[in-house]
Amino acid sequence: MGIDRVTSVTFRHMLHAVARCKDMKRYIFFTDDATGEAAANATFARLYSRALSNQDTPVTMPAFLAQLGAIKRWGKAAEDDLSFVRVPTLIANGDDDAMVPTPNSNAMHEKIIGSRLALYPHAGHGSLFQYPNEFADEVN
């Protein structure tokens, strides 16, 4: 539900960031309020404190656009019933995710027998960055 709108949502958030002279990831991954701002600042401080040799390689524009296109196509595809998933499954998301709308996580949880759903409060698409310790605990 709503994943096929990923391109418009992403570009809207990116324009919002440019207009406010913020990191492009600010509004894509975090809520648009004081809590989201604090979480983004803490996350970016951790990410950018890494030595240059340990920082992520920047995503190229062709790769970025290809990813958005693939997500959009997948979002328009027929819905899987997911009954074939028989392995331990962790579904993690923020409770206010505009990129992958949170109701999708609830739907996956209902369809995957024995899955574990971890919804992080007041978090968007970057919930695992906003709650790194809690997310690591869930994975472990």
State residue 131 phi and psi, 5-degree precision: -125, 60
Which residues of the chain fall below pLDDT 70? none
Identity at 58, one-letter amino acid code: P
pLDDT at 58: 86
Enter the tokens of residue 2. 């709503």
What is the distance between the alpha carbons of residues 49 and 67, in angstroms, rounded to a whole number? 27
Instruction: Find out whether 131 and 40 touch, Cβ atoms under 8 Å.
Output: no
Taking domain 3-139, whether its CATH number is 3.10.129.10 is answered by no
Instruction: Find out whether 28 and 14 touch, Cβ atoms under 8 Å.
Output: yes
pTM of the complete model:
0.82
- In the chain, domain spans: 3-139
pLDDT at 2: 77
Instruction: Find out whether 124 and 30 touch, Cβ atoms under 8 Å.
Output: yes
